[in-house]
Amino acid sequence: MHPLRRLSVAEQVAAHLRAGLLAGRWSGVLPGVARLAAELDVSPATLQVALRQLEAEGLLESRGRGCSRTIQPQGAARGALRVGILLFDAPLDEQPKTSQVLYQIEHDLEAAGHQVFFAKQTQGQMDFDIGRITRHIGDNPADAWIVVSGSRDLLEWFAAQAVPCMALFGRTEGLQLARTGPDMAPAFRVATRRLLELGHRRIVLIVRRARRKPSPGNVEQAFLDELSAHGIKTGDYHLPDWEETPDGYASLLESLFSHTPPTALIIDETPRVIAAMGFLARRHILVPEQVSLVSSDYDASFLWSQPTVAHIRWDSLPIIRRVVRWVAAVKLGRADRRTLNYPPEFVAGGSIGSARSGKAIHPS
């Protein structure tokens, strides 16, 4: 069971109005903003936020500025969808940021009257085998799918299907497929440029295979392009291949620090950042004196680390709202295949420092 989240005032107002709409308290049009705000003892601005949420859920339809909203027949109970969520790899309790986003999406969609379920197996549990995954999808029909961090091959398959699909993260470049998430490429450029300014040239980016193959994604290419722009010839060293298991990750780190040790690591996903910190500590490699460390994600534990961990941070609320509105559009029969990404920011923590030649790592 995941922890309950305290609702904002606007969310409480939306819940109150939603219950009234489903109970048939009003018909035709909803009373005006001034009247409802006075009746509920909230500000007009708060009420407007709640009303926009109900519009996204398909309960209300705007008739333009200054006009009362039209009540949709039978509200959210009419045409409610069965929405499936296909996870990438790890269980939700092992990915706190993603779990926060998905649990809130689940809550908001169910509040809108939809039925939400998580696929019984993740993409990773099915060995990222497209045949196995698509058979699993066929055995668990849904009116719409939300695919978390889908591979390029999988998202190409979804783009060719009749069932609507929203890619939450994932590589959708050039595909006719809805997509939302943080636009990580600019933040990666900023992080890479900062490391280069500090004198780093042996910078290694560690990401999953789906982000590297069959070719680097936008984020990874932005990293490589930034290196190239500073005269660094890029190759497999900077974006290494590795076996995606705990043993495979340990082998990668051993290999990196046994021959030409990197002076900076950029690592995707919090569990692998923590594993790398443990590896460095066991090898008595100091952060940031001997190697700088950047996480491409944020975790609250980073603030408790000494030094604090440099990371890329993004706001989940616009992404959650985008998914809920996309499902509302699907319910109304609207084909929404837009990509709407949101800007993150690079937070330079204490885990990055100058590439000091006097404190080089000597391979064992």
Indicate the average pLDDT of the chain. Answer: 89
pLDDT tens digits along 256-273 = 999 889 999 999 988 899
Residue 96's pLDDT is what? 62
pLDDT digits (tens, 9 = 90+) for 190-240: 999 999 999 999 999 999 988 888 889 899 999 999 999 999 999 999 999
Instruction: Say whether pLDDT at 87 is over 70.
Output: yes
Does the pLDDT value for residue 363 go beyond 60? Answer: no
pLDDT value, residue 100: 85
Residue partners of 298: CB distance under 8 A and separation at least 6? 97, 311, 312, 313, 314, 347
pLDDT reading at 79 higher than 80: no
What pTM value is reported for the model?
0.75
pLDDT score for 358: 41
**What does the pLDDT look like over 44-59, one tens digit per residue?**
999 898 898 888 777 8
> In the structure, what pLDDT confidence band is assigned to residue 145 with cuts at 50, 70 and 90?
very high
Lowest mean pLDDT among 17-26, 105-114, 314-323: 17-26
Q: Which CATH number fits domain 79-181+315-342: 3.40.50.2300, 3.40.50.720, 3.50.50.60, 3.40.50.1220?
A: 3.40.50.2300
The CATH code of domain 184-314+347-359 reads: 3.40.50.2300
Same fold, 79-181+315-342 and 184-314+347-359: yes
Q: Are 80 and 114 in contact, with CB atoms under 8 Å apart?
A: yes
Q: Residues 99-106: what's their mean pLDDT?
A: 90
Confidence of residue 92 (pLDDT cuts 50, 70, 90): low
The residues spanned by each domain of the chain are 9-76, 79-181+315-342, 184-314+347-359
**Fold (CATH) for 9-76:** Arc Repressor Mutant, subunit A (1.10.10)
The better pLDDT of the pair 93, 363 is held by 93
CA of 38: how far to CAs of 19, 41, 67, 157, 297, in Å? 18, 5, 17, 51, 43
Q: Is 80 exceeded by the pLDDT of residue 24?
A: no
Question: What is the per-residue pLDDT for 300?
Answer: 84
Q: Mind listing the pLDDT tens digit for each residue in 155-170?
A: 999 999 999 999 999 8
Q: Is the pLDDT of residue 80 over 90?
A: no
Pairing relationship of beta strands 310-313 and 345-347 according to DSSP bridges: antiparallel
Buried b (16+ CB within 10 A) or exposed e, 287-311: bbebbbbbbbbbbeebeebebebbb
Average pLDDT over residues 36-41: 91
Residues 6+ away with beta carbon under 8 Å from 234: 224, 227, 228
Percent of the chain residues topping a pLDDT of 90: 61
| Residue 279: band (very low, low, confident or very high) from pLDDT cuts 50, 70, 90 | very high
